[in-house]
């Protein structure tokens, strides 16, 4: 699984706050496996659980405009 910008964001924020993955899972109310999957860039995750984690950092998921290469 390739890392996504979401995965990198969560991992960076977790480290900035001095938490390990277990601390983050407890604080967010999600399972440790979910945090590991999120940080590894798993492509299929529940949006509500992702938002539970992001809410700890004052963020939430939202639409982002994507630029597409017209040649593809």
> Residues near 3 by Cβ (< 8 Å), separated by ≥ 6?
40, 41
Check: CB of residue 50 under 8 Å from CB of residue 38. Answer: yes
- Domains plus CATH for the chain? 5-55 (1.10.260.40)
Q: What is the pLDDT of residue 72?
A: 52
3-56: pLDDT as tens digits: 568 999 999 999 999 999 999 999 999 999 999 999 999 999 999 999 999 999
């Amino acid at each position: 699984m390739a890392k996504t910008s979401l995965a990198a964001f969560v991992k960076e924020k977790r480290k900035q706050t001095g938490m390990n993955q277990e601390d983050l899972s407890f604080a967010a109310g999600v399972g440790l496996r979910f945090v590991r999957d999120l940080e590894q860039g798993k492509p299929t995750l529940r949006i509500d659980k992702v938002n539970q984690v992001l809410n700890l950092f004052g963020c939430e998921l939202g639409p982002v405009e994507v630029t597409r290469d017209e040649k593809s």
